[in-house]
C-alpha cells in the first residue's frame, strides 16, 4: 500500500514556474514508477510525465510539456517532483501524483495509487 500527498500548487502568471512535490509513504518507494497526470475542468485526465523505478530512471513526457517540465525523484526522501517552467494558461489543471510497480507508462489506468491532487492555475 502506498499513500501519496501532493503539494506545491498555486496561482502563477504565464511564463512563471512552479515545483510540485509528491510525498509517498512506505518503505519500498524505490520499486515504484511514479507518474504525474492532470485534469482540467470538463476534460479527461491526461498524462504529463513519469519516471521509472530507481533501477532504470527512464522518464517519459507528454509532447505538450517536453522541454518545459522535468520529473525527478529522491528515493531517500520518498518523493517525486515536477519542475514546471514556462507555464501557459493551458497548463491550468488539478495535478495528480500516481504510482505503479517498476515501469513508467503513460496510461492512467495502469497506475495503482493516486494522491488527492493539487491545483495549478496559470493566469494570462
- Give the tens place of pLDDT for each residue, 100-122: 988 999 999 999 999 999 999 99
Residues near 101 by beta carbon (within 8 Å), at least 6 away in sequence: 31, 32, 33, 53, 112
Quote the pLDDT of residue 56: 58
| Residues 120 and 84 sit within 8 Å (Cβ to Cβ) | yes
Q: What is the pLDDT of residue 28?
A: 85
Give pLDDT tens digits for 1-60.
899 999 999 999 999 999 999 999 976 888 899 999 999 999 999 999 999 986 557 999
Q: 73 versus 28: which is more confidently predicted?
A: 73
Cα–Cα–Cα angle for 17, 124, 96, nearest 5°? 50
* Cell numbers describing residue 104: 513508467
Amino acid at each position: 500500500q502506498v499513500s501519496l500527498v501532493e503539494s506545491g500548487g498555486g496561482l502563477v502568471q504565464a511564463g512563471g514556474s512552479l515545483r510540485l512535490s509528491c510525498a509517498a509513504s512506505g518503505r519500498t518507494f524505490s520499486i515504484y514508477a511514479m507518474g504525474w497526470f492532470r485534469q482540467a475542468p470538463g476534460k479527461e485526465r491526461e498524462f504529463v510525465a513519469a519516471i521509472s523505478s530507481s533501477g532504470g530512471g527512464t522518464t517519459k513526457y507528454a509532447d505538450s510539456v517536453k522541454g518545459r517540465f522535468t520529473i525527478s525523484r529522491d528515493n531517500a526522501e520518498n518523493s517525486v517532483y515536477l519542475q514546471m517552467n514556462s507555464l501557459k494558461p493551458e497548463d491550468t489543471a488539478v495535478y495528480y501524483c500516481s504510482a505503479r510497480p517498476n515501469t513508467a507508462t503513460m496510461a492512467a489506468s495502469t497506475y495503482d495509487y493516486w494522491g488527492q491532487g493539487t491545483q495549478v492555475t496559470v493566469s494570462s
